[in-house]
Chain A
Amino acid sequence: QQQVKQSPQSLIVQKGGISIINCAYENTAFDYFPWYQQFPGKGPALLIAIRPDVSEKKEGRFTISFNKSAKQFSLHIMDSQPGDSATYFCAARKETSGSRLTFGEGTQLTVNP
């Protein structure tokens, strides 16, 4: 059972454009929603995270939008740069899970110069 569904699978954006990646979850017990960035040959690195008591969180060029009623959240990368080219994963955690994260399938982002 895939508890966190991510789309699109791949995304190509021009430099300076906005990259948008979406995730949907099923379990209403999830209480923490992070986004991770992964470069080839490296482990995932935390980008930004949100909790369900807020609808938006912004850190630099990265923004999470959260819609609790729709059970959806998205990552927006403003002014996308070639250095942002990587695989992005959304994830979710249940309060009772002891920090166990459930990841989405990933989005391969390519930012063309």
Chain B
Amino acid sequence: DTGVSQDPRHKITKRGQNVTFRCDPISEHNRLYWYRQTLGQGPEFLTYFQNEAQLEKSRLLSDRFSAERPKGSFSTLEIQRTEQGDSAMYLCASSRGRDEKLFFGSGTQLSVL
């Protein structure tokens, strides 16, 4: 396993701009998750995919947020019209199945100025 890879590691943007993050899960992991973590808090669930199907979305995922996993491999998370409150670490995780260990990437740190 090469681990969960996230790109970019850091992103600074101005309020109102759109940003997109990429996550490459561990190969053959069919489940992929997005979490958001703010300073001093635990990660909060955003959404998850089983293969290419998005099966659950948190109410935290406003209509400005969209996630895709087009071929059941990598995933993208897009935030449109960013707000200062979107500043956080966006974490991606993957697992082989529901009862399998969850592996997290190192995250993308977003700063909205």
Which A residues have a C-beta under 8 Å from some C-beta of B?
4, 6, 32, 34, 41-46, 89, 91, 97-106
Contacts and interface: CB of A to CB of B under 8 A. Distances in A.
A41 B41 CA distance: 14
A33 to B, nearest CB: 13
Contacts of A106: 40-42
Given A46-B101, A98-B98, A103 B43 contact: yes
B31 to A, nearest CB: 6
Interface in B16-53: 31, 33, 40-45, 48, 50
B21 to A, nearest CB: 13
B106 to A, nearest CB: 5
Contact of A43 (B45, B56, B95, B104): B104
Q: 7 shortest A-B CB distances, which residue pairs?
A: A103-B42, A43-B104, A99-B98, A89-B42, A100-B45, A44-B104, A43-B106
Contacts of A45: 104
A100 B44 contact: no
A100 B93 CA distance: 11
Given A46-B103, A99-B98, A103-B44, 14 more contacts: A4-B42, A34-B102, A41-B106, A45-B104, A46-B101, A46-B102, A91-B42, A98-B56, A98-B98, A99-B99, A100-B33, A101-B45, A101-B102, A103-B42
Given A44-B104, A46-B101, A98-B98, A105 B41 contact: yes
A97 B33 CA distance: 13
A43 B33 CA distance: 13
A98 B55 contact: yes
Contacts of B33: 99-100
B42 A43 contact: no
